[in-house]
Amino acid sequence: MPLSLILTHPGGAHKDEFLACSLLAAVHSVPIVRREPTAEDLADPTIAVVDVGGEHAPERHNFDHHQFPADHEPICALSLVLQHMSLYEDARAFCDWLEPAEWFDTRGPNTTAKWLGVSREAMSKLTSPIDVTLLRRFAKAKRLEPGEPLWEILSYIGSDLLEYLRELRTRLDYIALHAKIWNLGDHEVLFLPRTDPLPDEPSSGIERYLESIGKDSSVAALIYPDRRGTGYGLSRHNDNPLYDFTRIEKEPDVHFAHARGFVAKTSAKEMERVRELLGMARV
């Protein structure tokens, strides 16, 4: 059902309702109002009530978490909106910042710092002036209309997050279809062949794919199509010391090898040659 309005609480603004409103604005392109909801607002399914109202009723677009018991798993308004959009599982898997954001919003900075294993002071040192300004400006707004600068920024953020999650899922499906894992005895190598058409960023998503199949620690190197050439890129995975690609920098079909040895580019297309270069780079 299309929305006519997004409503969230007045006063101080936080990342959870800011991002939840961003997602909804990107999808529905409607005004955002900051005030307390009425009973009529909560009953109207065309009004999204976010992070306020004491009710989680996604069928009526009500997304509040404050009524959950104190021992409820950390979950915030953003989590509820992502669940409603069927994107929560992918967001938890691919957005490393989401779980800490849930903890911060529901448990506070001190408990979150302890959970992360860092000091409270370290949390403060990671605060960005971008966060401060956007949240401060959002808190001061009473109503934001499409076309206004801050509304457009929220919509951009929501659109980019939606695009990232949807495109990454498509990308992971592509890698799963085409990638091969070579077992080289004491380690593994991921090989992604050239396809036609070639994706804009051929190596994008490989790390997330390896995490998703439980190979993040066993794969030492990656071979993938070079987006700027006709051959392949070779790189260390997780900066694994088993490979030093400066060892192949003088090969005639290697046109780039980083001085620190973590990546190289070859014009070679034949798999036998690519594997030969990989073997030469083995420390």
Nearest one of 126, 209, 228, 124 to 170, comparing CA atoms: 209
* 147-186 tens-digit pLDDT: 999 999 999 999 999 999 999 999 999 999 999 999 999 9
Give the separation between CA 29 and CA 41, rounded to whole angstroms.
18
Q: What is the pLDDT of residue 250?
A: 97
What are the sequence ranges of the domains in the chain? 5-167, 179-281
Give the separation between CA 145 and CA 33, rounded to whole angstroms.
9
* 22-54 tens-digit pLDDT: 999 999 999 999 999 999 999 999 999 999 999
Q: Answer yes or no: are the C-beta atoms of 225 and 192 closer than 8 Å.
A: yes
* Average pLDDT estimate for 198-226: 93
- Residue 201: pLDDT band (50, 70, 90) is confident
For residue 94, the 8-state DSSP code is H
- Residue 272: pLDDT band (50, 70, 90) is very high
DSSP string, 29-40: ---EEESPPPHH
Residue position matching structure tokens 């997780």: 238
Tell me how far the alpha carbon of residue 189 is from its chain's centroid. 25
Give the separation between CA 95 and CA 275, rounded to whole angstroms.
33
Q: Which long-range contacts (CB under 8 A, 24 or more apart) does 175-178 make?
A: 175/205, 175/206, 175/209, 176/209, 176/213
Angle (deg, nearest 10), helices 129-140 and 149-178? 130
pLDDT at 1 over 90: no
Q: pTM for this one?
A: 0.83
Q: What is the pLDDT of residue 153?
A: 98
Listed in sequence order, the residues at least 6 apart from 27 whose beta carbon sits closer than 8 Å to its beta carbon are 85, 158, 162
- Residue 68: pLDDT band (50, 70, 90) is very high
Q: What percent of the chain clears pLDDT 90, i.e. is strictly above it?
A: 92
Alpha helices per DSSP H over 1-61: 15-28, 39-43
Q: Which fold has domain 179-281?
A: Diaminopimelate Epimerase; Chain A, domain 1 (3.10.310)
* Average pLDDT estimate for 243-270: 97
What is the average pLDDT score of the chain?
A: 96
Listed in sequence order, the residues at least 6 apart from 116 whose beta carbon sits closer than 8 Å to its beta carbon are 100, 103, 123
Q: What is the pLDDT of residue 65?
A: 97
Q: What is the pLDDT of residue 202?
A: 87
